[in-house]
Amino acid sequence: MGKVIDKLAWITIKDGKFLAVRSQGKELFYLPGGKRELGESDEQALVREIKEELSVDLVPSSIHYAGTFTAQADGKAEGVSVQLTCYFADFSGELATAAEIEELRYIDSSDQPICSLAALVVLRWLKDQQRIR
């Protein structure tokens, strides 16, 4: 078993598409979220990361587990994988890029070429669940 990068990710869906983000200087889109800091619960870390990246507040009572997905980590050595523990949640505020995020976009299965490997795994699952087109 290689190295696993453990991350939390937020799934929000609108009009048959889900929200993905792209970092400055990168080409591929991924799910917004990030890593837990010491002592944080998944919910606390997700709320903090989404506020930092997208300037919105997740509604804590609406956060619910979606699934855990693993894929090869983009731009990392072979055998380095990323594990995304994904949650659905409602939010308040206006989505706006912040921190290292350069672009946000709602994507569906027609956007596979611009997705990171981990985002592709989630995209296929959402499509199988008939949550996105």
Tens of pLDDT along 25-78? 999 999 999 999 999 999 999 999 999 999 999 999 999 999 999 999 988 999
Q: Is the pLDDT of residue 1 over 80?
A: no
b/e sequence 38-69, b meaning 16+ C-beta within 10 Å: eeeeebebbbbbbbebbbbebeeeebeebbeb
Q: Which domains does the chain have, with CATH numbers?
A: 4-128 (3.90.79.10)
Radius of gyration (C-alpha) of the chain in whole angstroms = 14
Query: What is the per-residue pLDDT across 2-30, written as a single tens digit (0 to 9) for each?
Result: 899 999 999 999 999 999 999 999 999 99
Q: Does pLDDT of 129 surpass 90?
A: yes
- Region 94-108 average pLDDT: 97
pLDDT at residue 79 greater than cutoff 80 = yes
